[in-house]
Amino acid sequence: MSYNLLKGKKGIIFGALDENSIAWKTAERVKEEGGEFVLTNAPIALRMGTIKELAEKTGSEVIPADATKIEDLENLVEKSMEILGGKIDFVLHAIGMSVNVRKGNHYTEQNYDFTQKGWDISAVSFHKTMQVLYKKEAMNEWGSIVALSYMAAQRVFPDYNDMADNKAFLESIARSFGYFFGKDHKVRVNTISQSPTPTTAGQGVKGFDGFIAYADKMSPLGNATALECADYTVSLFSDLTKKVTLQNLFHDGGFSNMGVSQEVMESFVKGQEEK
Ligand code: NAI
């Protein structure tokens, strides 16, 4: 269903790798709601993924940018304004990667070069993106910037590894930069804390299948899908949420406020009986 919520709005969408990506679904939904955008991803992801297909489908241009590189981000923001014919109304940061997770390093056995690379990609890139937008005065008033997070920023999920710390860092950057963006340019900055979702990044987490099934059973409304996350993001880009800022917004079917659910308790008891 489309409501034209983003008619006339222009944006930049980071992080669409393939059709499972949350950013991919968001691009499709933004297009349906009348928004126009530039797609971007790291050069290597452009080679490996299928973003061109999305670009054709949505009539968008793709500009490569490694989100850890200021010069790439400057080029991205300048070119986007040229292509879109004006300042930016919305930005989605859907970027995450931990080298320690990729290499199978346990949380207590981190390689700190990997740790640093991980936080640069997953958290500091959000600061860099906003700093470039801010310095270039590239955002329109009442614009909206969203990054995607996960509840391991607040609670312990052992297999989420150093991504937990990266997400805590990301959420803090949203608040800290959001203050200045709000005060100086009337731009809002939020993070959406999304349910586990079967994407390339999601499936990189050890034991993901168990993880996603457990979250689904714990949540009164079940896990939120990538498409539902896209819908929520559209609402945050729209003028219906103009005074929502500095928030970490849980989009997780209720998971974050649960202690235990009947289903999880039953399967735990069953497991105990079988022992
Ligand atoms: P995905 O694997 O489809 O997207 C991750 C994206 O990050 C990829 O497009 C990748 O190319 C991009 N990326 C990595 N390094 C980059 C760099 N240096 N510069 C620019 N882009 C770079 O997976 P997904 O799940 O759609 O991830 C999007 C966001 O959602 C991430 O922040 C992730 O942590 C977050 N998230 C995912 C959840 C899940 O279970 N899948 C749950 C909660 C949050």
Q: Is the pTM of this model over 0.90?
A: yes
User: Active-site positions?
Assistant: 150, 160
Indicate whether residue 101 lines ligand 1 (CB < 6 A): no
Cα–Cα distance for residue pair 94/247, rounded to 1 Å: 16
Indicate whether residue 225 lines ligand 1 (CB < 6 A): no
Mean pLDDT within 99-114: 97
Read off the pLDDT of residues 57-89 as tens digits, 9 standing for 90 and up: 999 999 999 999 999 999 999 999 999 999 999
Mean pLDDT within 104-131: 98
Indicate whether residue 200 lines ligand 1 (CB < 6 A): yes
Distances (CA, A) of 143 to 122, 161, 221, 230: 22, 33, 30, 17
Cα–Cα distance for residue pair 214/141, rounded to 1 Å: 41
Pocket test for ligand 1, best of 125, 199, 209, 214 (most atoms within 8 A of CB): 199
Evaluate if residue 205 carries a pLDDT over 90.
no
pLDDT at residue 105, rounded to an integer: 97
Evaluate if residue 1 carries a pLDDT over 90.
no
CATH code for the domain defined by 10-274: 3.40.50.720
Residue positions forming the annotated binding site: 15, 21-22, 95, 167
Indicate whether residue 92 lines ligand 1 (CB < 6 A): no
DSSP category for residue 223 = P
Read off the pLDDT of residues 27-60 as tens digits, 9 standing for 90 and up: 999 999 999 999 999 999 998 889 999 999 999 9
Compute, in angstroms, the gap from residue 95 CA to the centroid of ligand 1.
4
pLDDT at residue 275, rounded to an integer: 82
Q: Residue 22 CA: which ligand 1 atom is closest?
A: 26
Q: Residue 196 CA: which ligand 1 atom is closest?
A: 40
